[in-house]
Amino acid sequence: MNRAIGLTLLTLILSAGCPKNESGSGNGESAAAPGPDQAQPAIPLDLPDSDVVVTYPLPPDLDAREESHQRMVRSLAEINSRVPDENRYLGSQDARQLREKIAALPSDANARDRVQLYLQLGAADLRLGRERPAIQSLTAAYDLLNSDQQQAAGGKSATADAAFQLGVAYMRLAGDEQRRQGRKHDSQGIPIL
C-alpha cells in the first residue's frame, strides 16, 4: 500500500513539469509527436515493478549551455593569467618589482632605503604565502637594523617592527608545515591557522 502511494506521489511530482501529450492531458505519458509547445524531447523514466512510465523534458538548449560554460571557462582563464600583474592582493608584481629594486641598489645605498625595501618585500612575500623568502627578506632587514648602521636605518621602532614581522613569518611557516604534515588540531602543540 505504501509503495503504491509513493509511486503515485512520484508520478504526480514528476508529471507536474512534464509536457502535455496530444490529448492535452498532463498525465505524464509521452506524446507520439511533439506539439508546438513541446519543442524539447522527453526522457522516459521506467519505474520498477510498475506499469507507469513517466517522462520529463530535457533541459532546453544544452549546446548553448555548454558553449556558455566554455566562454566562462575561457574568461576565467584569461582573468587568472592577468592576476600576477594586475591584482594588488593576489598578484606577485609588487614582489617582483621590489626584488628588482633591491638588485639594482648600489653597494653604498642608504641603509634606511635598503631596510624599507626588505621590509616591504617580506610583507609582499608573506601576503603571497611565500614564508621562506619572506623570512630571508625580513632577516636581512633585521640584521641591517642591528648592525652599526642602526641609527641611520630607522632606530629601535624599526627594529621592533622587523622583529614582529619576522615572528609572524616564522609562525606562518610553522602553521604551514603543520598542515603539510597532516597534524590534527588535537595533537601536541597549539594549532596555528
Residue with cell 614582529: 164
CB neighbours of 118 closer than 8 A, spacing ≥ 6? 102, 137, 138, 140, 141, 144
**pLDDT tens-place string over residues 140-172:** 999 888 876 555 556 777 888 889 999 999 999
Q: What is the pLDDT of residue 160?
A: 86
Mean pLDDT (whole number) for 73-81? 89
Residue 28: closest CA among 36, 20, 40: 20
Q: What is the pLDDT of residue 126?
A: 92
Mean pLDDT (whole number) for 183-192? 56
Say how many Å lie between the first and final Cα of the chain, rounded: 55
- pLDDT over 60 (residue 26): no
Whole-Å CA distances, 2 to 5, 28, 53, 113, 179: 5, 21, 19, 81, 51
Average pLDDT taken over every residue of the chain: 74
Q: How far is CA 68 from the centre of its chain?
A: 21
Mean pLDDT (whole number) for 18-33? 48
Q: What is the pLDDT of residue 43?
A: 54
